[in-house]
Amino acid sequence: MAARTIAVVGATGAQGGGLVGAITADRSGEFAARALTRSPGSAKAAALAAAGVDVVAADTDDVESLKRAFDGADAVFCLTNYWEHFSVEREQAQARNMAVAAKAAGVRHAIWSTLEDTRKWVPLDDNRMPTLHGRYKVPHFDSKGEADQFFRDAGVPTTFLLTSFYWDNFIFFGLGPKPGPDGVLAITLPMDDRKLPGIAAGDIGPCALGVLRRPDLVGKTVGIAGEHLTGAEMAAGLTRALGQTVRYNAVPPDVYRGFGFPGADDLGNMFQFKRDFEPYFTTARSLDVSRRLNPSLLDFDGWLARNKAAIPLEG
Ligand SMILES: NC(=O)c1ccc[n+]([C@@H]2O[C@H](COP(=O)([O-])OP(=O)(O)OC[C@H]3O[C@@H](n4cnc5c(N)ncnc54)[C@H](OP(=O)(O)O)[C@@H]3O)[C@@H](O)[C@H]2O)c1
């Protein structure tokens, strides 16, 4: 039987790259990856091609390029990168383009990497957190959650994949341990003592491959996480792994929103949502379901064992 072609948006990035890697490593021969990128000549794209992956040019801003890239695919993995442009309008236009192109290609299964529309829990007139960009509470969440409808409206057989906080943010997103005034390292989160679902970013793709083996998940929302941990528990894990004390610095969401880095208000609202709706948010990301989709799923200690040397510890 011919392999099922999986067209992967974001193939040169964390989520899509994990999916391409999982397909490449899969011995069943059931799947073949088609890696989409805006820059087929980039080093990352060249590395995929060298590994035998079919690399094709496509831009989610350009629906015709997506139609060409999705043509003949059995399934598609759809991703947006909000943090590249900080624009809800652009993220939603990209999601709509992917939904339209997936429908045109007649794929049997699409995965949309989404997040909650937090306004279902925190309406705009709920003043526990500020409204941002005029009509959002957590723009990079609400934008994706609202875009779920594009896939439904287009009639695309879609699984809505709710992802979790990447532990890799301790390396790449500026959220790693920083020395406090006393020189002791600390991670700072506005989560009080609530649990934050986290995941190794590289585990999202293997979970997505598990979803592609499950046609019964079409039309369903599936949440994934590697472990649910409090700030204190993550600090304890970092302490063990790094061999030096890391404290948990719990700050109020208002303080976090005021940190001033780009997106601090969005992330402050996001963490407050996760804090205030912890029972919902953790339950929506079942560890058992995640492990069944991806039996090699890492927990935080497993992630730390592989990544501790990459965590920057400077102030
Ligand atoms: N950080 C977290 O904790 C976290 C947690 C959950 C969800 N998320 C979400 O994850 C998303 C980012 O995913 P990621 O971490 O996998 O991204 P990433 O590692 O930063 O890589 C971005 C990928 O998106 C592709 N891309 C961006 N714009 C594109 C366009 N216009 N057309 C085609 N491809 C495009 C890039 O491909 P080329 O450059 O090769 O074209 C690249 O492969 C964000 O929307 C974020 O909200 C993040």
Burial class of residue 308, CB neighbours in 10 A (0-12, 13-18, 19+): middle
Number of H helices, E strands in the chain: 13, 13
Residues 253, 275 contacting (CB under 8 angstroms)? yes
Burial class of residue 287, CB neighbours in 10 A (0-12, 13-18, 19+): middle
Burial class of residue 46, CB neighbours in 10 A (0-12, 13-18, 19+): middle
Strand arrangement, sheet containing 196-199: 165-166, 196-199, 227-229
| Beta-ladder partners of 222 | 161
What's the CA gap between 216 and 209, in Å, rounded? Answer: 14
SS3 readout for 119-169: HHCCCCCCCCCCCECCCECCHHHHHHHHHHHHHHHHCCCEEEEECCEECCH
In a mutational test of the pocket of ligand 1, which residue from 79, 92, 271 has the highest number of ligand atoms less than 8 Å from its CB?
Answer: 79
Residues 34, 68 contacting (CB under 8 angstroms)? no
Four-point Cα dihedral 228, 283, 79, 93, nearest 10: -130
Residues 155, 103 contacting (CB under 8 angstroms)? yes
Which atom of ligand 1 is nearest to 201's Cα? Answer: 15
pLDDT for res 315 = 56
Binding pocket residue ranges, ligand 1, CB within 6 Å: 9-16, 37-39, 42, 58-61, 79-84, 140, 163, 165-166, 169, 173
pTM for the full predicted model? 0.98
Residues 137, 118 contacting (CB under 8 angstroms)? yes
pLDDT for res 236 = 98
pLDDT for res 199 = 99
Q: How far is the CA of 106 from the centre of ligand 1 (A)?
A: 24
Report mean pLDDT in 10-residue bins for the chain, 315 residues: 94 98 96 98 98 98 98 98 98 98 98 99 98 97 98 99 98 93 96 98 98 98 99 98 98 97 97 98 98 98 98 81
pLDDT for res 1 = 73
